[in-house]
Structure 1
Amino acid sequence: MASSSFKARIASRTGSDNQTDILAVVSSASMSRHDPSPSLPEPSQPSGAGGEPPLRPFIQESGTTRTLHFSEKVIQSRMSTLNPDALDLEYTRMMMGFVLFTPAPADILMVGLGGGSLAKFCYRYLARSRIEVVEIDPGVIALRDAFMVPRDDARFRVVQADAADHLRGLRDAADVLLLDGFGDAGIPDALCSAEFYADCYEALRDDGILVINFHLNHPKHRDYLDRVRESFGASMFEVVDDDMTNSIVFACKGERLDDPAAAELKRPESIPKDAWRQLMPTLRVIGATRELK
């Protein structure tokens, strides 16, 4: 997997100016003057820390590709306008690895909307699942139509909230919890604390799966894994991309990660064939990594 295809979306972040009125669309000519390769911002202080105003999200377009940014150098989300429900970035396909263990979750909770890649894929292909997306930035939510994110309905909704506050006190609410918590300054401290991962554990039902997107090269990466382990124990494993850039961590509130059936890579009846074809190459990597854990 090339580094140009394995990065991250904008996600929940602390500190927002609650303004959605200045949202720019930058021409493809402007985009060509900058590196269009997706890249993850380094985890650091929340947006707006130290008195600096948070950056407003904007869109760039080049041909049939639409991308979400806080700065022109960093792509937060990428969508093909020809196939808007497809998972265009490899890391999103890796996060869908939970289907090996929980192929038909009743409730999926996501932290971070971004361009809605995971939300759209789950909404389309996991037709029996209810999906709630927590996004702190109203500017990101305001761009949902540009990325063809579904309207709220009986089984899908986007909630504007601080994820740390939203999960605190939540109990047995989700079968799958997806954390892609990157803003313009990286992962907010509140979304990589031991307390937050403990709240994630409590928010999951028995045998629930937590999936986290991390920046592998961040100096505190091992500390973050230790914090996850404090709540989930040994029931976790990590999958790293070929470029040694991103880390996708799977953790379980139970023993489901040890289910031998996951190694069979057999398509569950609940997942359509075209979705399985998109995911299959990545699922093989996840299955092999799990066997080595």
Structure 2
Amino acid sequence: MLLKNIWRRLPQCFKKPAYWIKGWREQGRIVYKKESSYSYIQVIDKKGYRYLVFKDPSCPLHLQRPEDIYQSRMSLDDTLDTGVPYADYFHLAWIFNPQIKDIIMIGLGGAAVPKVFLKDYPEIFFRTVEIDPEVVNIAYKYFFLSQDDRHKIIIGDGREYIKNTVDPADLVLLDAFYSRTIPHHLFTVEFFQEIKNKLNEEGLLAINFNGSLAGTNSFLFSSVLKSLRTIFQQIYVFASRKNSPNSMQNIIIFACKNLQNLGRPEIIDLARGLAEEKVTVSGFIFKARQLYEGPVELEEAELIRDALSPPGGMINLYNSRIGKLIPETGEG
């Protein structure tokens, strides 16, 4: 207690070196690093896990804990144990379409999602679109993604692929993030319409989003949700920390092409049946219970449009208002 009191009273100039030393000691072992055309990438081993990290160049690298900012994670003891809770929420898609066969994923990361889907569901075919070829190389070499005839990787922009492909999908997974930003052109009303056009009749879009459901950091989530609602018939929101709506957290959004009209009891019952017969991810029924039915402020939210692109084409996850990033002329 005495040491804690002394630490609290120390001037900040004395604390800063201690934080730097602590950050350096806790950064883990850097297995690989490279600055690609899109991001500064590190592969880090720490406490039994391997992390894929896109570092934020505006912050000292050793102060960015891999367990706080990772793009993907994998157990070093079991390469199919991703240890990525949000990735398991994508399996809730079977509740809304039990006949999924063709899947398109935008954003590969460390391949946490396709590795498990391909293992658990032998009937599916998976197409992953990744803009950074270095990320693809890392997924194969450091995260042990296997070559599989049911998995095709396309190096390119996800939106361009959706626009040009002639092969429809039952499920589109959108998981495209950098350290603190999302690509604007992948979250616009126009792109959501393009996705809907490529979905089969019972198809759906699933989005992994990092944000808050309410409070000062919720405006971007509200804008994404409002933009989705202009295109899709029905939307379901699942939040990893739904009882703390003001907290930044993983939010998984399912947008269904056709009306589902499933309530909480039906969703949980369907999850129980899937857990018994099909889905093996841990805590699947708990994740179904994370359906968020609380209020979301949409009245002040702005639609995300192609015509209003922020400088650099990226939206900061921590900006409270889209409009702060948009030039007054409306030009990108």
Q: TM-score range by the shorter chain?
A: 0.7 to 0.9
> Does 1 or 2 have the higher relative contact order (CA < 8 Å, sep 6+)?
1
Superposition deviation, residue 230 in structure 1: 1.2
Q: State the TM-score, normalized to the length of structure 1.
A: 0.74
Query: Quick check: 1:255 aligned with 2:259?
Result: yes
Query: Quick check: 1:60 aligned with 2:44?
Result: yes
C-alpha change, 1:59 and 1:197, in structure 2 (3 Å) is same
CA RMSD of aligned residues (A): 3.1
Give the 3-state SS of the residue equivalent to 1:232 in structure 2: coil
- Aligned position for 1:33: 26
- Aligned position for 2:321: none
Question: CA offsets per residue over residues 38-75 of structure 1, 9 Å max, x none?
Answer: xxxxxxxxxx9xxx963232200024200001214232
C-alpha change, 1:148 and 1:191, in structure 2 (3 Å) is same
Q: Distance in 2 between matches of 1:114 and 1:84?
A: 14
Larger Rg: 2
User: Residue 156 of structure 2: which of 149, 158, 161 is its match?
Assistant: 161
User: Residue 283 of structure 1: which of 260, 281, 288 is its match?
Assistant: 288
- Aligned position for 2:300: none
Stretches of structure 1 lacking an aligned partner (at least 5 in a row): 1-28, 37-47
Question: CA offsets per residue over residues 143-180 of structure 1, 9 Å max, x none?
Answer: 012111121x3211111010011111446611111101
Superposition deviation, residue 104 in structure 1: 4.2
The count of aligned residue pairs is 246
C-alpha change, 1:108 and 1:162, in structure 2 (3 Å) is same
Give the 3-state SS of the residue equivalent to 1:131 in structure 2: strand
Give the 3-state SS of the residue equivalent to 2:73 in structure 1: strand
Superposition deviation, residue 239 in structure 1: 1.7
Give identity over the alignment, percent: 24
Superposition deviation, residue 279 in structure 1: 2.5
- Aligned position for 2:312: none
Contact preservation (8 Å) 1:54, 1:184: no
Give the 3-state SS of the residue equivalent to 2:139 in structure 1: coil
Superposition deviation, residue 283 in structure 1: 2.6
Stretches of structure 2 lacking an aligned partner (at least 5 in a row): 1-21, 30-34, 56-60, 212-216, 297-332
Between 1:169-178 and 1:222-231, the stretch displaced more is: 169-178
User: Residue 266 of structure 1: which of 261, 267, 272 is its match?
Assistant: 272
C-alpha change, 1:148 and 1:66, in structure 2 (3 Å) is same
C-alpha change, 1:268 and 1:185, in structure 2 (3 Å) is closer
Give the 3-state SS of the residue equivalent to 1:187 in structure 2: strand
Q: State the TM-score, normalized to the length of structure 2.
A: 0.66
